[in-house]
Amino acid sequence: GENVEQHPSTLSVQEGDSAVIKCTYSDSASNYFPWYKQELGKRPQLIIDIRSNVGEKKDQRIAVTLNKTAKHFSLHITETQPEDSAVYFCAASSPSGGSYIPTFGRGTSLIVHP
Amino acid sequence: GAVVSQHPSRVICKSGTSVKIECRSLDFQATTMFWYRQFPKQSLMLMATSNEGSKATYEQGVEKDKFLINHASLTLSTLTVTSAHPEDSSFYICSARDVEGLNTEAFFGQGTRLTVV
């Protein structure tokens, strides 16, 4: 099955700095890569996603890059703000009997200091 | 985005009793729903994949007789924790994917905090 590794587990930055979170996956058949933000005690919310036919996608201060050859993808947050503080999860979705089950990374706790 | 409602949000039960958690897709139909367990400051651990009209597929190490899953309709899946014990205390969260999208975003419920005393 799919295996997703996520680094770092904790990331502390100053407001205004950039933050980068990296993930690798093992199943070359995975073709959908969502990123979720989870605030304490709340549900994960999708913030951006990318498909395997695209190398980069950007939405305002958030961007995701994908390298299919190396099987890694990254989340980039620019001009970080305190409200960006949360746990971020990457996921890779691979076909499993046709169900496309997402496998999550272990999460990155992002702390943005004012 | 689509809305997934999970109920209850918090439940406290006595050891040995059973607890049912509901996961509903409110404005879309979901052929597939996923059930996760999340420990504090840890990732989402997939417990099982729930398919409408068929038996759920459980991940290795998850006891199907303890965690009963029923996906009776395209908008409702239930997880029943049977004979609960304190070690079952955790945050349980479901997600659902629109039947129209084979490999698209999964929307999460708000989660259920289960405490077994």
Q: How many beta carbons lie within 10 A of that of residue B95, not counting itself?
A: 25
- State pLDDT tens for residues A88-112: 999 998 876 566 788 899 999 999 9
Which residues in chain A have their CB less than 8 angstroms from residue B93's CB? 43-44
Question: Per the structure block, which two tokens stand in for A71?
Answer: 């099987």
Strands A86-94 and B10-13: unpaired
Residue B93 CA, distance from chain mean position: 5
CB contact under 8 A, B44 and A49: no
* Terminal Cα-to-Cα distance of chain B (whole angstroms): 37
Angstrom distance (rounded) from CA B65 to CA B114 = 18
**Chain A contact probe: residue of B34, B98, B103, B107 with most A CBs at under 10 A:** B103
CB contact under 8 A, B104 and A32: yes
Given pLDDT bands bounded at 50, 70 and 90, which one contains residue A41? confident
- Are the CB atoms for A110 and A84 separated by under 8 Å? yes
Question: Per the structure block, which two tokens stand in for B4?
Answer: 């997934």
Question: Per the structure block, which two tokens stand in for A22?
Answer: 């990296």
DSSP A82: G
- State pLDDT tens for residues B20-72: 999 999 988 888 899 999 988 788 899 999 888 888 999 999 999 999 999 88
User: Which SS3 state, helix, strand or coil, does residue A39 take?
Assistant: coil
Chain B: give the shortest CA distance to residue A30, in Å.
10
Chain B: give the shortest CA distance to residue A42, in Å.
6
- Are the CB atoms for A36 and A45 separated by under 8 Å? yes
Segments of chain B assigned E as strands: 4-7, 10-13, 19-25, 32-38, 44-51, 57-58, 67-73, 76-81, 90-97, 107-108, 112-116
- State pLDDT tens for residues A22-39: 999 999 989 899 999 999
- Are the CB atoms for B59 and B80 separated by under 8 Å? no
- Mean pLDDT for all residues in chain A: 93
Q: How many CA atoms, within 13 angstroms, populate the side-chain half-sphere of residue A84? A: 26
Q: Does B77 touch chain A (CB under 8 A)?
A: no
- Cβ neighbours of residue B2 under 8 Å, at least 6 residues apart? B25, B26, B27, B28, B96, B98, B107
Angstrom distance (rounded) from CA B14 to CA B80 = 14
- Are the CB atoms for B58 and B64 separated by under 8 Å? yes
